[in-house]
Structures are given as structure tokens and as C-alpha cells.
Amino acid sequence: MAQDSGCSLNSDKADFDSVRRRDAEQAEKERQEARQRDLEKALNRAGIPERFAGKTFATYQNLGTSQKVARSTCELYADQFRAMKGNGVCMILTGSPGTGKTHLAVSVLRNVIDSGNTGLFVSVSEMLRKIRNTYAKGSKQTEEEAFSMFVKPTLLVLDEVGVAIGDEEKRKAMVFDVLNARYNALRPTIIIGNLTVEEMQSYLGERVWDRLMEGGSPVVAFTGESYRQRAPVKEAG
Ligand SMILES: Nc1ncnc2c1ncn2[C@@H]1O[C@H](COP(=O)(O)OP(=O)(O)OP(=O)(O)O)[C@@H](O)[C@H]1O
Ligand SMILES: [Mg+2]
């Protein structure tokens, strides 16, 4: 009799443990699903162009020394960003068309967002257009709101730096306002362009360039042929 009751106590405990384990597993599954949903929302909000949606470090081929150095610099930057929340250190990617600058910058951005930071990808012309649109009569957004869109994200990727847009002095002043506010808030920016380093300095202005360089920001030069013009790889068989 005593043995029977012991057995039933043991089996009650086993049932209880297994229910508890199932509940814990279910709660963990729901937490992971919620995290995945938040991540997808953050990636959707990050403005990554459709063409680059699937581009990652893993899909970037090391075709030569230049690509190898570029990729490992960007991977290191992403690792350090995750470790130090960016710490305000920027990165400059320069070089000829089709050499993978945007691809690698998007890979860094995705990595940074994956680790719970906010990030935004925008071309310099789109950023300036969004700010200028607020000057129009009846604009729903104020100039401050537009600025804060570009100042708030932990990481901003500013692409196509070098494209001539509007009045040079006004353009320089707007870019300075955004990048200076980010600098003051210790939020890093990745700058991408086809210009040489000297041309980029002159496009952005000395004061912006000086801020961008603080803390030993890497400047990565991309060289070689455009990946866009490579012959398509033939399928085996
Ligand atoms: N090393 C590489 N491995 C795999 N794909 C690459 C590589 N380099 C470039 N690509 C691909 O080639 C295309 C062009 O690359 P990307 O747009 O990043 O070049 P870019 O340097 O930003 O050019 P641009 O200065 O004209 O904007 C993209 O589809 C990109 O994914
Ligand atoms: Mg590009």
C-alpha cells in the first residue's frame, strides 16, 4: 500500500516536471518568435534596397587581395561595433563602381541590427530630399523630425556620397548638421562613395571630414573590375 502511494507521488512529480518543461520550452519558443518579428521589423525599417536584401558577408566572394582586406575590415568593424555599441568610430568605403562597397556596408548594417541596435541605410540625395521636402507648404513633417530620422539610428549608412546635388553650400550645411549631431551623440556613420579620399574630403568639407576621422576610423579603398560586368558563372553539367 505504502509502495503504491510512493509510486503515485513519483509519477505526479514526473508529470509536473514534464508540464513545467513544456511550458518553459513554449515560453522560450514564443520569446524567439517575438525576437525574430522585431528583427524583421527593424530590418524593414532600415531602408535596405531590395537588390541588397540577401547580401551578407557570407555571400561576398574574396576575389583578390583588395576584396579580402575590405571584407575583413568590415567584419572587424561589425564585431567591434557590437562589442562597443559603435563608440562613435566611423568607416569610409571608397572606390570604383561595382566593387562591393554597398554590399559590405549592408552586411555590416544587418549584423549591427541583428545584435539589437537600430540602423538606417540612405543615399545622400534621398536624405537631402527628405529634409528639403519638409520646407514645402503643407508638409506633414517638420525639419527637426526629418533630421532626427537620420540622427537617431545607432548606425547610419550614407551611400552615394559625391553625387552633385543642388547648391553646394546648402548641401554641405545640411550634411554637416546631420553628421555633427551624430558625432556629438557618439553615433557612427559609414560613408560610401566613388570619390578618392581627397575628393571626398572636399565634397563633405574639412569640418565634417575631421569629425569622421576621430578615433582611427578605417578608410577602405576598393579596387579592381566591376563585379556587375563579370561573366555569369556557368552551371556544372
Ligand atoms: N566580391 C563580391 N562578391 C559577391 N558579390 C559581389 C562582390 N562585389 C560586388 N558584388 C555584387 O555586385 C553588385 C555590385 O556591388 P555593389 O553595389 O556593392 O558595388 P558598389 O561598390 O557599391 O558600386 P557603386 O559604386 O557603383 O555603387 C552587387 O549585386 C553586389 O552584391
Ligand atoms: Mg554602391
63 lines ligand 1 (CB under 6 A): yes
The protein residue with its alpha carbon nearest to ligand 1, atom 27, reads 97
Looking at all shown ligands, the one closest to residue 227's CA atom is 1
Residues 53-92 have pLDDT tens digits of 889 999 999 888 889 999 999 999 999 998 877 678 999 9
pLDDT tens-digit series, residues 90-114? 999 999 999 999 999 999 999 999 9
pLDDT one-digit tens code per residue, 4-35:
566 677 888 888 888 999 999 999 999 988 88
Fold of 50-225: Rossmann fold (3.40.50)
**Residue 159 in grid coordinates:** 551611400
pLDDT at 191 over 90: yes
191: exposed, middle or buried (Cβ count in 10 Å: 0-12, 13-18, 19+): buried
Cell of 230: 563579370
DSSP 180-204: HHHHHTT--EEEEESS-HHHHHHHH
DSSP states of 148-174: HHHHSSSEEEEE-TT---S-HHHHHHH
Å from CA of 145 to ligand 1 middle: 32
| Domain coordinates in residue numbering, the chain | 1-45, 50-225
